[in-house]
């Protein structure tokens, strides 16, 4: 599997389990400098839209800050394997929200290509956005990958991304990036939980548990981020930077301390269920690709493969929810974001 064609789980599942990513958008827009855009029309692009719930939130909130705008073109970009049927349904169901109750005339475009390539015409975009996406690497790590090789790959990916956006975004346009980074609040506990869960399921499905250590993600340090931006400083100017640590929205103090054992257990169950949905919405495709249907009890027909994947996901979800409250329910699951606003030179 080529990692830059990884997509989030479709069928509405990612929309339902991406509240943390939505919170990052809310917090980021509160921190960003007001746009200096004065025209009647604007073109916005979200690079990494998935099923679109958070893109709708992003575009609608951003447009509210632009009183002069009467028409907007909104670009929804994701990898070709993304669930574009679900994305188009989300757009259709939220047309009134996107158009600010009909006060703005909107046109929507879909861009089904990896954002590590140029995906839009030169000088097309006024403002681009990338939320909770650039921690995904272009290439899948293997057993020989080291921290230094992953750091180098992440640097190359970041520079490639910014170089492609430099072609698409007009001069003095903006690129806003909210990137999960190295920090105390992270998703690493979910990786360890996935590995333990896959070990428990290995006899049944033969999915390598160590794949949970090689998920195609890298959480850059601030120094690594700034080094990548410095490499393209003739193309981009860093206008603002913020640190944004966010626990998963389902966490509450009751997870650790509560007035009763019943309340504590209820808090832990809410946290476990939400974290399971959040983690599986992002990572399930990687684990499903680890299945080898042709070697599993002779199953080879398309219907049998589909049923095998469904059984695997049901069992993995159950195993995760069994493991997490025993070993990780007091861990700080979430993202430590670095929020960047860049101006295209």
Q: pLDDT tens-digit profile of 86-130?
A: 999 999 999 999 999 999 999 999 999 999 999 999 999 999 999
What is the per-residue pLDDT for 291? 86
The token pair that represents 259 in the structure block: 């007035």
Distance of CA 148 to the CA centre of its chain: 23
Candidates 219, 279, 208; CA nearest to 248 is: 279
Asked if 158 and 333 count as a contact pair (C-beta separation under 8 A), the reply is no
- Inform me whether the pLDDT recorded for 293 exceeds 80: no
Confidence (pLDDT) at 297: 52
Give 298's pLDDT tier (boundaries 50, 70, 90). low
pLDDT at residue 305 greater than cutoff 90:
no
Instruction: Give Cα separations from 309 to 4, 123, 125, 320 (angstroms).
Output: 22, 43, 39, 16
**Residues in the chain, how many?**
345
Compute the half-sphere exposure of residue 212: CA atoms within 13 Å on the CB side of its CA.
Answer: 21
Mean of pLDDT values over 283-312? 80
pLDDT value at 131 more than 90: yes
Q: How far is CA 74 from CA 59, 62, 104, 138, in A?
A: 8, 11, 12, 25
Confidence of residue 259 (pLDDT cuts 50, 70, 90): confident
User: What is the rounded CA–CA span in Å between residue 161 and residue 257?
Assistant: 44
How far is C-alpha 289 from the chain's CA centre? 19
Q: What is the pTM of this model?
A: 0.95
CB of 216 within 8 A of CB of 289? no
pLDDT tier, 283 (very low <50, low <70, confident <90, very high otherwise): very high
Percent of the chain with pLDDT over 70: 97
Neighbours of 308 (CB within 10 A): 18
Residue 40 burial by Cβ neighbours in a 10 Å radius (0-12, 13-18, 19+): exposed
What percent of the chain shows pLDDT beyond 90?
Answer: 86
pLDDT for res 3:
60
Does the structure show a pLDDT above 60 at 294?
no
Domains of the chain, start order: 3-185+216-248+334-344 (3.40.50.150)
Compute the mean pLDDT over every residue in the chain, rounded to the nearest whole number.
94
Average pLDDT over residues 284-291: 91
Q: What is the per-residue pLDDT for 144?
A: 87
pLDDT at 203: 95
Q: What is the pLDDT of residues 194-243, one digit of tens each?
A: 999 999 999 999 999 999 999 999 999 999 999 999 999 999 999 999 99
DSSP state of 124: -
Residue 141: its pLDDT value, please?
A: 87
Rounded to an integer, what distance in angstroms lies between the CA atom of residue 37 and that of residue 58?
17
Tell me how far apart the alpha carbons of residues 200 and 236 are, in angstroms, rounded to a whole number.
48
Which of 238, 339, 340, 345 minimizes the C-alpha distance to 23? Answer: 339
Main-chain phi, psi angles of 283, to 5 degrees: -110, -10
Question: Using 50, 70 and 90 to split pLDDT, how confident is the model at 61?
Answer: very high
CA 76 to chain centre: 14
Cβ contact 216:139 at 8 Å: yes
Q: pLDDT at residue 2 above 70?
A: no
pLDDT at 156 over 90: yes
CA 60/CA 65 separation, integer angstroms: 9
Alpha-carbon separation of residue 247 from 50, 187, 212, 253, 332 (angstroms) = 21, 10, 21, 12, 6
Least confident segment among 15-24, 84-93, 136-145, 155-164: 136-145
Give one DSSP letter per residue of 100-113, joined into a string. TTTTSEEEEEEEES
Edge-to-edge strand order for the sheet containing 169-181?
A: 105-112, 71-78, 41-47, 125-131, 169-181, 334-344, 236-247
């Amino acid at each position: 599997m080529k990692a830059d064609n990884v997509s989030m789980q479709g069928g509405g599942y990612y929309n339902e389990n991406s509240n943390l990513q939505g919170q990052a958008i809310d917090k980021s827009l509160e921190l960003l400098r007001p746009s200096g855009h004065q025209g009647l029309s604007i073109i916005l692009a979200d690079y990494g839209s998935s099923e679109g719930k958070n893109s709708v939130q992003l575009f609608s909130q951003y447009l509210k800050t632009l009183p002069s705008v009467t028409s907007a073109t909104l670009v929804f970009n994701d990898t070709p394997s993304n669930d574009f049927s679900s994305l188009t349904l989300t757009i259709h169901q939220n047309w009134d929200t996107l158009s600010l109750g009909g006060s703005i005339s909107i046109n929507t475009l879909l861009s089904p290509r990896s954002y590590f390539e140029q995906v839009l015409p030169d000088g097309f975009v006024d403002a681009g956005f990338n939320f909770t996406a650039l921690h995904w690497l272009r290439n899948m790590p293997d057993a020989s990958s080291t921290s230094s090789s992953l750091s180098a790959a992440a640097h190359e990916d970041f520079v490639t991304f910014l170089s492609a956006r430099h072609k698409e975004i007009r001069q003095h346009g903006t690129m806003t990036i909210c990137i999960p980074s190295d920090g105390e609040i992270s998703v690493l506990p979910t990786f360890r939980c996935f590995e333990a869960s896959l070990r428990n399921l290995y006899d049944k499905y033969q999915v390598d548990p160590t794949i949970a250590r090689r998920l195609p993600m890298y959480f850059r340090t601030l120094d690594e981020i700034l080094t990548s931006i410095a490499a393209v400083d003739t193309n981009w100017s860093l206008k603002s930077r913020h640190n944004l640590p966010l626990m998963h929205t389902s966490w509450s103090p009751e997870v650790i301390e509560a007035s009763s054992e019943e309340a504590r257990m209820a808090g832990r169950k809410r946290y476990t269920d939400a974290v399971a949905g959040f983690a599986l919405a992002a990572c399930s495709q990687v684990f499903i690709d680890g299945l080898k249907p042709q070697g599993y009890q002779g199953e080879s027909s398309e219907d049998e493969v589909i049923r095998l994947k469904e059984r695997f996901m049901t069992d993995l979800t159950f195993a995760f929810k069994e493991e997490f409250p025993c070993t990780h329910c007091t861990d700080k699951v979430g993202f430590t974001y670095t929020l960047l606003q860049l101006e295209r030179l």
